[in-house]
Structure 1
Amino acid sequence: MSVYINLLPFMKKINDAPAFLQDWGGGVEISTDGPHWHGDTDWAQEKERFASYAGDIGVHLPIWELNLASVQFPQYAAYSFEAYRTYLEWASTFASHAVLHTHLYNMPLFHREEAQALSKHYIKQLGDIAEQKGIMLLVENVGFHDKMLFDEREFVQLFEEIPAIQALLDVGHATINNWDIANVIEALGTRLSALHLHDNDGENDLHLPIGAGVTRWNEIWQAVAEQTHSLRLILEYDESASLEVLKRHGNELLQAGKVVGKINV
């Protein structure tokens, strides 16, 4: 198992991240949303920001302003694909993985089947590009209830249909949608390469620290421990989370190694 910290807490204060990471021995996942990301962003500077970091690096592709599943405005979906392609190619020059959302998570799904087909069309192309560039493309489960583009069965099936991608299971999102998380982990098997770890109240995507909500962690740790392949465990805590708690949880996961169920979080 490898452990990462997603830099969501630094989205609005990215210049503070290097100091936080000085004594962190795991990987990091860079967010590409926030005030320092805009039309005039210096991509070379953003890459250089973490050039001295010794650990592994992943990149979370943009979340809020793109949508691969826009049926009403297909030109918007096509533009989103081109934007994701640009970010993915940039990430491939220094990162080992990139995280992609299936669609804009808070949009109503008036044409669900058509939206699924459109999303799959572009995800397959991005997966092929990632494979060519030598970077792992992790596709994440997003959307809640009637805004969930792929339910748990369809999410598992997505990776049967598209061989060039790997799954990232967001535990918090799955909790809100009442998924059987342990079963999804087992069903995905080796197609599961990463988990976003955070907690919530079962209704809102709060990105709380592990143990601060209603998620049934013991079942998850057991399912993770039963996997025979390596997984990326990525702590994705909210901006308001205590940085001390975030780093402590990260270190406990690092120390736990394969026996994840013994972490004291």
Structure 2
Amino acid sequence: MTDLPLLGAAMSTATLETLQDFILSENRDLEVQDFCNCDLLNGDWKTVADQTRKLLAGYTGRLGIHGPFWGLNIASPDREMRALNTRKHLQGIEVCEYLGATQMVIHSPYTTWSYNNLDNGPDRENYQQLIENCHDTMKDVVKRAEDCGVTMVIENIEDIDTDIRCALADSFDSTAMAVSIDTGHAHYAHGSNGAAPVDYFVRRAANRLQHIHLQDADGYADRHWAIGEGTIRWQAVFRALEELTSQPRLILELRDKAGILPSVAYLNALGLAR
């Protein structure tokens, strides 16, 4: 069973103190989530980062962070808001550089409204304007990420279209921009908004996929339940993942961190991951 994919997890530095052995014993992928808090980024974030580094002494796994996202939209039509978005994401890259993290999760700009309205105009002007806004927001961030060896992965939030986020990542033509999938978000889009099931999201992303948030849900809301508590078809998801060569980070992102170890046990019992 040791050839099964190795699961990682997303957690705060405070939670890492209680799950340090779980992460360090096999150098599992880790996503530190403190730094999506804009108040922390505006304050003494280095104290938290120093504690993170202390807890990870000797760690050789793949380290990432969740970047800032609260109240942010990288496709904002407001020039001043785009400038703020740029600054906040640059702060995230600064944290990555300080920690030695090589990945930062950012949020997709696409909404349920987008799905029905981006082509509601001549020459796809709404679609093109959104892309231009994203590039205006992120061009300096992408350059800084390239210089620091960081890859940003665009996570589906309200996305219904399985391809549009992939096309956005491709449009930057940069190793610093790739794709993430959140299984619960995809399952919500499938159950409530008519999107394809989760394994389709994986196959359509293909080797652009470098990160996945694993959470269970019911197709109605963003539950972040432990694996096995919802209705996602995990065998299908992992069959799709087996087809990839990009080795995406498999990050358990659960609301209740007490569910991390039981989720690992559940997927291991199914022969899907360890």
TM-score after normalising by structure 2:
0.77
Larger fraction in helix: 2
Residue 91 (structure 2) pairs with residue 86 (structure 1) = yes
- Alpha-carbon displacement from aligned partner over 1:142-163 (angstroms, at most 9, x marks no partner): 12xxxx4x72121232233222
Could you say if the C-alpha distance between residues 74 and 2 of structure 1 is closer, same or farther in structure 2, counting changes exceeding 3 Å? farther
Residue 137 (structure 2) pairs with residue 128 (structure 1) = no
Could you say if the C-alpha distance between residues 219 and 133 of structure 1 is closer, same or farther in structure 2, counting changes exceeding 3 Å? same
Among 40, 49, 52, the residue aligned to 2:51: 49
Q: How many residues align?
A: 244
Name the SS for the 1:92 alignment partner.
helix
Among 203, 206, 209, the residue aligned to 1:192: 209
Match of 2:121 in 1: none
On the 8 A contact 1:59/1:98 being kept in 2, the answer is yes
Match of 1:60 in 2: 66
On the 8 A contact 1:156/1:184 being kept in 2, the answer is no
- Alpha-carbon displacement from aligned partner over 1:65-107 (angstroms, at most 9, x marks no partner): 3222222x3311211111111221221232121111133979x
Match of 1:160 in 2: 170
Match of 1:209 in 2: 226
Match of 2:271 in 1: 262
Match of 2:31 in 1: 29
RMSD of the alignment, in Å?
2.9
CA distance in 1, matches of 2:144, 2:41: 24
CA distance in 2, matches of 1:157, 1:185: 14
- Alpha-carbon displacement from aligned partner over 1:27-47 (angstroms, at most 9, x marks no partner): 22111245972632x132122
On the 8 A contact 1:5/1:250 being kept in 2, the answer is no
Could you say if the C-alpha distance between residues 122 and 261 of structure 1 is closer, same or farther in structure 2, counting changes exceeding 3 Å? farther
Match of 1:225 in 2: 242
Identity of aligned residues (%): 21
Match of 2:183 in 1: 171
Residue 103 (structure 2) pairs with residue 97 (structure 1) = yes
Residue 4 (structure 2) pairs with residue 5 (structure 1) = no
CA distance in 2, matches of 1:210, 1:43: 31
On the 8 A contact 2:65/2:104 being kept in 1, the answer is yes
Name the SS for the 2:32 alignment partner.
strand
On the 8 A contact 1:100/1:139 being kept in 2, the answer is yes
Match of 1:39 in 2: 42
